[in-house]
């Protein structure tokens, strides 16, 4: 028995004359692969949002096509492949503009500074991309845990100083390069964030390591203002970076609040 032709309601006209800025799918948990600094595949699970601009004359978009495009590209989702995903979204959904946001946890193996004990530390990462008729816009966001030790507390105390865990969030837009953009690795941003605090955070520390990290932080006190300035200076010196925003948050150990600071900047194009 022949199949009956099913109506495509999404493709029917809409008469209200109102375009929709973004319509799509969100909070989609999906397995993906990114690449590490050695170019090896790194499997993880992402929470993904994808959307397109919907012209006023169309009633709806075809939601299933978002998943079809994602399934095609699940072998690698990185800043290198995001432009292709965005172009496929525009093609498959007949859209002039497409957006994607891919949030995932990236684990780095940290070696304890004295014992060399290895364990993984997770960093929250987001790839964000937009493509329209004129250009592609790609942004990488990485949030890194660090230790910070208060310079004021160290100066005024007879012994010791209060310290806390903080988080440094780097949101970076790479410079254009040919048909793509400069490659900025997640590890590059993790290194910048860790250099900006008093000491790195580790998952596994032996007593000798704990002693080392505690003294390292004590010898390198920073305010939250220092953290964002340190990171901004390193990003301004990086020729691959077009623009950035740095946010540092200290989870204060002796106050009932957090302290934060934010700096935004862009490359000198002169």
Residue-wise pLDDT for 61-109, tens only, equals 888 889 999 888 877 788 788 888 999 999 888 888 999 999 999 999 9
Please report whether residue 2 resides in a domain: no
Nearest partner of 65 among 89, 98, 47, judged by Cα: 89
Whether the Cβ atoms of residue 201 and residue 164 lie closer than 8 Å to each other: no
Nearest partner of 95 among 60, 70, 127, judged by Cα: 60
Please report whether residue 166 resides in a domain: yes
Please report whether residue 101 resides in a domain: yes
Please report whether residue 6 resides in a domain: no
User: Which domain, by its residues, includes 262?
Assistant: 12-266
Nearest partner of 32 among 89, 85, 70, 86, judged by Cα: 70
Q: What is the DSSP letter of 58?
A: B
Please report whether residue 4 resides in a domain: no
CB neighbour list of residue 40: distance below 8 Å, 6 or more residues apart: none
Main-chain phi, psi angles of 20, to 5 degrees: -110, 125
- Rounded mean pLDDT, 194-199: 97
Q: For the chain, how long is the longest CA-to-CA vector?
A: 90
CB neighbour list of residue 202: distance below 8 Å, 6 or more residues apart: 110, 112, 113, 119, 121, 209, 213
Please report whether residue 1 resides in a domain: no
- Which CATH number covers residue 38? 3.10.270.10
pLDDT category, 270, cuts 50, 70, 90? very low
Nearest partner of 97 among 129, 132, 57, judged by Cα: 132
**Which residue is associated with the tokens 């939250």?**
224
Which tokens is 203 given? 């998952």
> What are the C-alpha distances in Å from 207 to residues 116, 121, 124?
12, 19, 28
Residue bearing the bigger pLDDT, 171 or 1: 171
- Rounded mean pLDDT, 233-243: 95
Q: How many residues does the chain have?
A: 270
Number of domains making up the chain = 1
Q: Average the pLDDT over each of 82-86, 107-111, 133-137, 212-216 and give the range with the smallest value.
A: 133-137
Count of other CB atoms within 10 angstroms of residue 167: 21
pLDDT of residue 7 exceeding 80, the answer is no
Helix, strand, coil percentages, rounded to 5, for the chain: 25, 40, 35
């Amino acid at each position: 028995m022949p199949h009956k032709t099913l109506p495509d309601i999404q493709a029917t006209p809409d008469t209200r004359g109102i375009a929709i800025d973004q319509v799509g799918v969100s909070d989609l948990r999906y397995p993906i692969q990114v690449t590490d600094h050695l170019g090896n595949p790194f499997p993880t699970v992402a929470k993904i949002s994808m959307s397109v601009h919907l012209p006023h004359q169309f009633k709806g978009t075809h939601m299933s096509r978002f998943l079809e495009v994602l399934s095609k590209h699940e072998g690698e989702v990185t800043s290198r492949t995001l432009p292709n995903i965005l172009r496929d979204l525009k093609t498959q959904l007949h859209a002039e503009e497409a957006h994607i946001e891919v949030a995932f946890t990236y684990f780095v193996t940290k070696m304890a500074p004295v014992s060399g004990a290895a364990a993984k530390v997770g960093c929250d990462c987001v790839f964000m991309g937009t493509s329209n008729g004129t250009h592609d816009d790609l942004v990488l966001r990485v949030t890194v845990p660090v230790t910070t030790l208060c310079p004021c507390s160290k100066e005024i105390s007879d012994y010791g100083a209060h310290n806390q865990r903080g988080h440094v969030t780097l949101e970076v837009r790479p410079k254009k390069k040919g048909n793509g953009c400069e490659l900025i690795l997640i590890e590059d941003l993790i290194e910048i964030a860790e250099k900006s605090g008093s000491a790195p955070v580790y998952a596994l520390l032996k007593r000798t390591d704990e002693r080392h990290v505690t003294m390292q932080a004590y010898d390198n006190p920073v305010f939250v203002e220092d953290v964002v300035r340190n990171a901004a200076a390193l990003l301004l010196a990086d020729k691959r970076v077009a623009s950035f925003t740095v946010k540092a948050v200290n989870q204060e150990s002796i106050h009932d609040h957090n302290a934060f600071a934010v700096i935004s900047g862009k490359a000198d194009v002169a």
